Amino acid sequence: MLPGTLPLFPLPNVVLFPDVFLPLHIFEPRYREMTRAALDGNRLIGMVLAKSAAEPDECYPVGCAGVITHVEELDGGRYNIILRGLQKFRILAEDETAGRPYRIASVEAIPDGPYDKADLKALRAKLEALLVSSGTANFSFRLPPSMPDSEFVHALSQYFGFEAIERQALLEMSDPSARCRALIELVEMQVLMGSNDWKGRSN
């Protein structure tokens, strides 16, 4: 269960997914304070996609909460942290009276809907075969074959070479099967466009 409020960390190119790890370097003073407060509390941070680097305060209303699993304190109050995605959420309202340099929002959890596990397994197999045939298997098969199907789909959604808005759309989908179908369509579209030189990336 998520708490009723979360600190928000908007970034223009990062979309966090449930069950996926995200390394971050925290250097801006307000987010150093946010990280310190999270470490002193429940260790939760709400990752949201900023609509542009020029306007980082304008962000999409659906994000993913992550828990700090690892932390390295650096000189000058900076941090290297690793977040593990926990749960999608929707921003309900922001607390303008919190008196913090970073944003705090009231949120509601968005659980994934039910899905057929056998259907997802078949979709994953189709996606893997498509990645092999399109020459993009170099990244997908660095993921262990034993990785659960939903985590496989979420890891590809987060780290494959899609545009940020495409990853945001994947996050907002109702369940892992829907995301996997969309991944298949995105890869097929790239193949049709003749662009198969994708690379996995971490932001």
pLDDT tops 70 at residue 37: yes
Domain with 133, as residue range(s), is 117-192
Q: Note whether residue 198 is domain-resident.
A: no
pLDDT of residue 197: 47
Based on the structure, what is the number of domains in the chain? 2
> Within this chain, do residues 39 and 132 fall inside the same structural domain, yes or no?
no
**Rounded-to-integer distance, Cα 119 and Cα 137, Å:** 22
Q: Is the pLDDT of residue 195 over 70?
A: no
Could you tell me if residue 197 is inside a domain?
A: no
Mean pLDDT is lowest, of 29-33, 115-119, 139-143, for 139-143
Domain match, 85 and 129 both: no
Cβ neighbours of residue 156 closer than 8 Å, sequence gap 6 or more: 127, 140, 143, 183
Rounded to whole angstroms, the Cα distance separating 8 from 51 reads 14
**41 lies in some domain:** yes
Q: 26 and 52: one domain?
A: yes
Which one of 110, 128, 147 terminates a domain? Answer: 110
CA atoms of 4 and 91, how far apart (whole Å): 10
Candidates 142, 146, 140, 138; CA nearest to 180 is 140
- Burial level of 143, CB count in 10 A (0-12/13-18/19+)? middle
Write the pLDDT tens digit of every residue in 43-70.
999 999 999 877 777 999 999 999 999 9
One domain for residues 74 and 153: no
> Which pairing describes strands 5-11 and 62-73: parallel, antiparallel, or unpaired?
unpaired
- 100 occurs within a structural domain: yes
DSSP per position, 84-117: EEEEEEEEEEE-TTS--SSEEEEEEEEPPPP--H
Does residue 199 lie within any of the structural domains?
A: no
pLDDT tens column, 137-176: 544 446 788 899 999 999 999 988 889 999 999 999 999 9
